[in-house]
């Protein structure tokens, strides 16, 4: 019983870390990364579709992204979608291939991004703590309904706290790596 709660807790905490990593991948850090376009959608026959589902996106150079749509008629639509996104990117195309030069980040923009990633990290920590609280409540309910003993409750809560500490450290590590990436010139 307690093992099920602990397993569920760990799964939820892992998902929180995955979400944080995906969020960080979409933030521009001065280096070309196809993931920054994940949230950009284009109107594809009346359906909002992510760019990576209608084109090949690659980073042939550290500061260059190329987008090659499978349907050439989408080139202007993709360019407009990128311009409308809040990524601050200027695409240019030759009719077949869209090139996006990733500009050097200003110090001001870097500090802004660091604030953003710290906020996202704090949200992840709060989420992990909420998962801990919910799991502890489940364990306490198992004790109340006489499914488990007081000792098992204590062990379960200790286990949940260890998981919480582990995943909070993981959030801090992911934050530190992304912060270094943003601040490197």
CA dihedral 156, 158, 163, 168 (to 10 degrees): 140
For the segment 34-57, the average pLDDT, to the nearest whole number, is 87
- CATH for 34-101 (3.40.190.10, 3.30.1360.40, 3.40.50.150, 3.40.50.1370): 3.30.1360.40
Res 63: pLDDT: 82
CB 89 within 8 Å of CB 64: no
Res. 50: pLDDT tops 60: yes
> Tokens 């994940």 label which residue?
38
pTM above 0.95, yes or no: no
Distance CA(96)–CA(79), nearest Å, equals 12
Closest by Cα among 17, 27, 22 to 127: 17
CA 90 centroid distance within chain: 23
- Kindly list the distances between the CA atom of residue 84 and the CA atoms of 81, 96, 108, in Å, as whole numbers in the listed order: 5, 20, 22
CB 33 within 8 Å of CB 89: no
The model's confidence at residue 183, banded by pLDDT at 50, 70 and 90, is confident
For the segment 142-164, the average pLDDT, to the nearest whole number, is 92
Q: Which one-letter DSSP state was computed for residue 147?
A: S
Domain with CATH 1.10.132.20 in the chain: 1-28+106-183
Res 176: pLDDT: 94
Res 83: pLDDT: 87
Percentage of residues in the chain with pLDDT exceeding 90?
A: 43
Domain with CATH 3.30.1360.40 in the chain: 34-101
CA 94 centroid distance within chain: 32
Q: Which one-letter DSSP state was computed for residue 103?
A: P
pLDDT in tens, 54-110: 999 998 888 888 999 998 888 998 998 888 887 778 899 888 899 998 877 788 888
- CATH for 1-28+106-183 (1.10.132.20, 3.90.1150.10, 3.40.50.2300, 3.30.70.100): 1.10.132.20
Backbone angles phi, psi at 86, to 5 degrees: -90, 30
| Per-position b or e across 114-136, b if 16+ CB within 10 A of its CB | eeebeebbeebbebbeebbeebb
Average pLDDT, the chain: 89
Res 124: pLDDT: 95
For the segment 153-169, the average pLDDT, to the nearest whole number, is 94
For the segment 114-123, the average pLDDT, to the nearest whole number, is 93
Res 165: pLDDT: 96
The tokens for 41 are 């959608």
Res 18: pLDDT: 94
Res. 173: pLDDT tops 80: yes
């Amino acid at each position: 019983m307690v093992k099920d709660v602990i397993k569920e807790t760990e799964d939820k905490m892992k998902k929180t870390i995955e979400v944080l990593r995906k969020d960080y991948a979409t933030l521009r850090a001065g280096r070309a990364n196809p993931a920054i376009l994940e949230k950009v959608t284009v109107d594809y026959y009346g359906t909002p579709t992510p760019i990576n589902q209608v084109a090949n996106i690659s980073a042939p150079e550290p500061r260059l992204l190329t987008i090659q749509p499978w349907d050439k008629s989408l080139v202007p639509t993709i360019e407009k979608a990128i311009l409308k996104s809040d990524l601050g990117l200027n695409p240019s195309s030759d009719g077949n291939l869209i090139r996006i030069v990733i500009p050097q980040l200003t110090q001001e923009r870097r500090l802004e991004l660091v604030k953003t990633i710290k906020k996202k990290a704090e949200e992840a920590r709060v989420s992990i703590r909420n998962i801990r609280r919910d799991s502890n409540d489940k364990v306490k309910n198992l004790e109340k309904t006489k499914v488990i003993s007081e000792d098992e409750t204590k062990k379960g809560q200790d286990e949940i706290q260890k998981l919480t500490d582990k995943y909070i450290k993981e959030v801090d590590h992911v934050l530190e790596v992304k912060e270094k990436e943003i601040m490197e010139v």
